Structure 1
Amino acid sequence: MKNIYKKFNLLLICAIVFAGCKSNSEEKKEVAATSAEEQEQELGLKDYYSDYFPVGVAVAPNSFEGKSKELILQHYNSITPENVMKMGEIHPEQDRYNWEAADKMADFARENDMKMRGHALVWHQQTGDWIFEAEDGGQVSKEELLKRMKNHIDTVVSRYKGTIYAWDVVNEAISDDPEEFLRKSEWFEILGEEFIIKAFEYAHEADPEAKLFYNDYNAIIPEKRDRIYKLLKMLVDRDVPIDGVGIQGHWSIFDPSEEDLRKAMDMYSSLGLDVQITELDVSIYPWEKEQRERRPDESDEFTAELQQKQVDKYKMFFEVFRDYKEVMTGLTFWNISDAYSWLDYYPVEGRKNYPLLFDEDYEPKAAYYEVVEFDETED
């Protein structure tokens, strides 16, 4: 009888030990799974695209706090000032510069080992009236405007030399009128096409190491694409120090098509230029620049149908981007999340838009997962 009890006790002990071992093994697996899940959650866009191109975001002075800051640090390794380096903001008067906000962004980039793009040195908007006005109130002379442009570029570019790796030197110089070539801005009226050439030359002199870009919107639309290509080819043929083209990427769930996007990428890169998507967002409305009021049948609800269309468009865009990783040297989203987008105010004031990969609560949207969950063997 004692032997029976001994055997029973031995079996019981073995069962307990085995159960404990099994429990420890399962616990280790659960911990490992949890750790892997946490690690996956900590990855950001910059990590998924580390073998492709830097992923950036446009920022404002209030971006470096709370959830916005957390999102920036997790997902991006490049920043672009949305407004504070435009001439009217950073150089509001001829003898006065406003450095505070731009310096704050440059400090943030350095402290967090991030790339920084400069936006934008020469543009027909947000310039400050002083740049085109002579002392007598008339239009400034060609010689004086070139002098003022050079002073502005020298001062701004030199200040951020070594921090800003790329500049949008000239922004949106191509006309929206298909019958015209260059926009009839005051820059063009006074200087002709020379304002573009000189802007690049001055920027290169101020920082020979910086990458210099021409930046424009609607750069995928065939008729404007062809005129942008014409300008870029002219600059390349004249040995103007230009390194790349910035495709703004203010697109929508309706366009551009994959065919047009690939064609534009092929044309621009054929000139030996880098290509960057500099201002990416995907609107849920058609691009109609002149529209100022909401249509009677237009709702700003982000429906399931609109979400799916946005998912499909983002998926296509990033498939193309990955295919062009040899020529694409950067991608920047224009704003951080749907909590704020410039498209909430333009072109229709107060019409809510949802153009980004993160929602109003700074959480990833369905489009985000489509962008990061890709099979690298297919690219």
Structure 2
Amino acid sequence: MGLASMYEDYFRIGAACAPDRLDKQGMHIAEHYRSITAENCMKPMEIQPAEGLFDFRQADKLVDYAFEHQLDVRGHTLVWHNQTGEWMFKDGNNHVTKETLFSRMKTHIATVMARYPLIKSWDVINEAIADEDNRFLRESMYSRIAGESYIEHAFECAHEANQSANLFYNDYNESDPKKRDKIVRLLKGLLEKGIPVHGIGMQGHWNLYGPSIEEIQAAIEAYASLGLRIEVTELDLSLFDWNDRRCDLLEPTSEMLELQANRYDEIFSLFRSYKDVIDSVTFWGAADDYTWLSDFPVKGRKNWPFLFDDRFQPKESYKRVTHFSRLERV
């Protein structure tokens, strides 16, 4: 019985992947996950590198694989300050007007969502809130040209493109109390204006030491209090604290793996207790053979953030997470 089957009474379990890794990871994904997210190939720059030039080849491969194996797909992402072509913001050497920006956003969103009408959950806006204490919105070309209204426009365009889709705001550091409160402020304001936002994507790029389980729980409760659905969208547990820059390890220590197992057990126990508001938990990768954390924040450093090792074998973390689930089923 795979990981997703263990959790079918709680929430959907997913993984992020790229089309060029399906040959190696495909069987593992089909066995253990019930949904798939495009790690990069649905991001704006990949889909529309130049105005009017849409390239769906890589995204199609991922979606075709998902539907062939009866997996759901999370759409990621329609609007992001990063991995977006400069053409979106430029008219010759000048910045576009707000009206031109909105027109281009609408075309992009409508075209992508029309291509994949069976995708029912979309990250519409990704990472729009600033990390700095003295700033609300992230400084970006979107916010410079249109202020907060670009967020409202994106959700309205997405809803117009597919009225049955669930539309999410997605962000990292979502459990940090100060940033959490700013995200709540943003979402509450959107809801008060009648903007069609249905959920919050808690990315979940965490590590062995933080955020605390209390901070994660407080964030879940804060977002749920708005009446929004919650999806954990990019979960991984780095073995290194953010300020730990060592790069001498060729494999994880037994102490690290034990800490990771305890941490995953604690986190999934919390998630299960909120199964009424959490719809899915998606890992930002399928196994330790590939993770973006092997290049970030320390270039070239190997990391081991998942439940499965680099040979797709279950780690102690997997055993802790699934053992509790089996006991609850008895």
Name structure 2 gaps, 5 residues minimum. Answer: none
Distance in 1, matches of 2:60 and 2:328, equals 41
Residue 63 of structure 1 deviates from its aligned partner by: 2.6
- Among 3, 17, 21, which residue is 1:63 paired with? 21
Residue 175 of structure 1 deviates from its aligned partner by: 0.3
Shift >6 Å, 4+ stretches: none
Distance in 1, matches of 2:280 and 2:182, equals 23
Indicate conservation of the 8 Å contact 1:84/1:101, yes or no: yes
Taking structure 2 as the reference length, what is the TM-score of the superposition? 0.97
Residue 300 of structure 1 deviates from its aligned partner by: 5.3
Distance in 2, matches of 1:377 and 1:127, equals 45
Residue 325 of structure 1 deviates from its aligned partner by: 0.3
Distance in 2, matches of 1:299 and 1:72, equals 27
Q: Which residues in structure 2 correspond to 1:157-306 (within 5 Å)?
A: 157-162=113-118, 164-288=119-243, 294-295=245-246, 299=249, 301-306=251-256
User: Alignment partner of 2:95: what SS?
Assistant: coil
Structure 1 counterpart of 2:293:
343
Structure 2 counterpart of 1:328:
278
Distance in 2, matches of 1:377 and 1:188, equals 47
Residue 299 of structure 1 deviates from its aligned partner by: 3.8
Tell me the amino acid that sits aligned with residue 74 of structure 1: E
User: Alignment partner of 2:269: what SS?
Assistant: helix
Instruction: Answer with 73-82 or 57-66: which moved more.
Output: 57-66
User: Alignment partner of 1:374: what SS?
Assistant: helix
Indicate conservation of the 8 Å contact 1:284/1:355, yes or no: yes
Q: Which residues in structure 2 correspond to 1:112-191 (within 5 Å)?
A: 112-134=69-91, 136-162=92-118, 164-191=119-146
Distance in 2, matches of 1:191 and 1:378, equals 51
Indicate conservation of the 8 Å contact 1:300/1:353, yes or no: no
Q: How many pairs does the alignment contain?
A: 329
Structure 2 counterpart of 1:47:
5
Distance in 2, matches of 1:347 and 1:253, equals 15
Q: RMSD of the TM alignment (CA)?
A: 1.5
What does the per-residue CA deviation read over 1:273-293, in whole Å, with 9 as the maximum and x for residues that have no partner? Answer: 0001000000011135xx8xx
What does the per-residue CA deviation read over 1:183-239, in whole Å, with 9 as the maximum and x for residues that have no partner? Answer: 011100001000000000000000001100000000001111111111111111111
Identity of aligned residues (%): 46
Structure 1 counterpart of 2:66:
109
Larger RCO (alpha carbons 8 Å, 6+ apart): 2
Indicate conservation of the 8 Å contact 1:52/1:325, yes or no: yes
Indicate conservation of the 8 Å contact 1:117/1:167, yes or no: yes
Distance in 1, matches of 2:289 and 2:63, equals 24
Tell me the amino acid that sits aligned with residue 346 of structure 1: F
Taking structure 1 as the reference length, what is the TM-score of the superposition? 0.85
CA gap 1:87/1:369 in 2 versus in 1, 3 angstroms: same
Distance in 2, matches of 1:188 and 1:378, equals 48
Residue 295 of structure 1 deviates from its aligned partner by: 4.0
Tell me the amino acid that sits aligned with residue 16 of structure 2: A
Residue 64 of structure 1 deviates from its aligned partner by: 2.0
1:92 aligns with 2:57: no
1:373 aligns with 2:329: no
Structure with the higher helix share, 1 or 2: 1
Tell me the amino acid that sits aligned with residue 4 of structure 2: K
